[in-house]
Amino acid sequence: MACENNERLLRAYFDGELDLVRSLEFEEHLKTCPQCSDELRGQQTLRDSMRAANLYERAPDSLRARVRATLPAEARPQSISTTRKPVIESLVIAAAILIAVFLGVKVIPDIVSQKQNLVAEEIVASHIRSLQPGHLMDVESTDQHTVKPWFDGKLDFAPPVVDLATQGFPLVGGRLDYIGRRNVAALVYQRQKHFINVFIWPEEKNDAKAPEIQTIQGYNLVSWSHNGMNYDAVSDLNSTELRQFADLLSR
């Protein structure tokens, strides 16, 4: 069981209900509390197992009949003649298709947009967390031939690693991170005293996307895709220089 003082926080953290500050505070607590860490891993394992298993089963006809028998007469399903039933079923299916098409057009873009916003906020939170002492890099090097091999065996893809020192954006290291429920590569670049985190992971569809910039909690974030990879560069660097960096990296 989680420690008594943090049991409720653990459940809220697991469900994604904590704000950014509380999440960062609780993640610091996890580093020093084996009880909460074990409990969180157990809940994550259980959730993954339940998602992987097919736990739904249609109720047998006998049970369905008993349930109907307990309902008041006015609440019971009315019988339909065998001649009208196929017609009604066809109308119901046609209506369901029309509703699905309408909802698909109206709702799916909103769902995609919400998912992208959540990922963007998660990326900014990871950037803020990395700026805490000792969190920025797992491998510290300005040599791309040192940083790139470090990721071998740690990820299920090979992140492209380039050095932009001659353009004013030197590579300084890299680390593993976790975005959108998967492990990603995080490359660290520097512009004077500003650090730039570049998060990289495979995209689901191999469609190149031009860089798009937004500002979240005072940090600039540029997102794009290229050669089957998603890229997200985040920094407190001004938007003009960060877009310049993204243009250089996307080439």
Same domain, 153 and 246: yes
Same domain, 44 and 145: no
Number of domains observed in the structure of the chain: 2
Same domain, 242 and 140: yes
Position 193 in a domain = yes
Query: From CA 50, how far away is CA 96, in angstroms rounded?
Result: 29
CATH number at residue 211: 3.30.200.100
Q: What is the pLDDT of residue 79?
A: 54
Q: Is the pLDDT of residue 113 over 60?
A: no
Domain boundary among 12, 29, 52: 52
Position 107 in a domain = no
Name the residue with tokens 């540029």. 222
Residue bearing the bigger pLDDT, 7 or 99: 7
pLDDT digits (tens, 9 = 90+) for 7-66: 778 888 888 888 877 888 888 888 888 888 888 888 888 877 777 766 556 667 777 777
**Averaged over 83-99, what is the pLDDT?**
65
> Which residue range is the domain that position 149 belongs to?
136-250
Rounded to two decimals, what is the model's pTM? 0.56
Position 90 in a domain = no
Neighbours of 109 (CB within 10 A): 10
pLDDT digits (tens, 9 = 90+) for 149-191: 999 999 999 999 999 999 999 999 999 998 888 899 999 999 9
Same domain, 48 and 151: no
Position 8 in a domain = yes
